[in-house]
Amino acid sequence: MRDYYLAILNGSLLTVGVSLASLAVATLLGLMGAAAKLSGRRPLVWLAQLYTTVVRGIPELLMMLLVFYGGAIGLNSLAELWGNQEGVDLDPFVAGVLTIGFIYGAYMTETFRGAILAIPRGQMEAAWAFGMGRLRTFLRITLPQMVRYALPSFTNNWLVLIKATALVSLIGLHDMTYLAKQSSAATREPFAFFLFTAAIYLAYTSLSLWALRAVSRRYSLGTDRVQLL
């Protein structure tokens, strides 16, 4: 029994890796999506709107399977065009990270968009009037305030993203959920292993809440404290 628990603990490291990599992808896509929606350019606004609408309308499980199997089909088709007749397999880790990041990038888009809109536009116009470029204005004026406004929704998205990593077990990635299922099948004691896995997820989310509350206090200095639910 001890070996099964150790295997699940080792699998939890993979879960952390998937979570952090997916968060990086989601944050990048969220910033790009928010910038597109606020750009005022119709093609970009339409594309970003299509992205968020499609993602929020398709179940995460179905999206995971579509990316994993559809990505493999697409890679094999491209390989054949280049004259490579050997099959190409899509790495489950890459597929899981890209899918989860793609899904939560849509939610991050709305989070960052709302946070930027909450900042008085006059502050950015004043920075431009003083000769600051758009990038410098974003880094010095917009970003620090955007973090404070975005943190509550960002926290919720991050907590849900951590739990969504359990979906990668369906495409063969040996995360702790996959290993808990394997341990349960081998010992016929599912409750103990799934309860142990749930406790690890709870520990991760609790640690995340503690860290994000500290970030919230840092960015809320001089303002009303933001309460993260």
Instruction: Identify the structural domains of the chain with CATH numbers, from first to last.
Output: 1-220 (1.10.3720.10)
Give pLDDT, residue 46.
95
pTM for the model: 0.85
* Residue reference for tokens 């065009």: 81
Give pLDDT, residue 227.
47
Where are the alpha helices (H) located in 58-189, listed in sequence order? 60-81, 92-117, 121-129, 134-137, 143-164, 176-187
Residue 79: pLDDT over 80: no
Assign 36 to helix, strand or coil: helix
CB 192 within 8 A of CB 120: no
Question: pLDDT-based confidence at 228, cuts 50/70/90?
Answer: very low
* Residue reference for tokens 């991760």: 204
Put residue 177 in one of left, alpha, beta given phi > 0 → left and psi -120 to 50 → alpha. alpha
Residue 162: pLDDT over 90: yes
Of 116, 110, 170, 107, the residue nearest 141 (C-alpha)? 116
What is the percent of the chain where pLDDT is above 90? 36
Residue 93: pLDDT over 80: yes
Of 23, 21, 12, 17, the residue nearest 155 (C-alpha)? 23
Host H or E run for residue 16: helix 2-38
Residue 222: pLDDT over 90: no
- pLDDT, tens digit, 9 for 90 and up, residues 96-113: 898 899 999 999 999 999
Residue 229: pLDDT over 60: no
Question: pLDDT-based confidence at 208, cuts 50/70/90?
Answer: very high
Give pLDDT, residue 226.
46
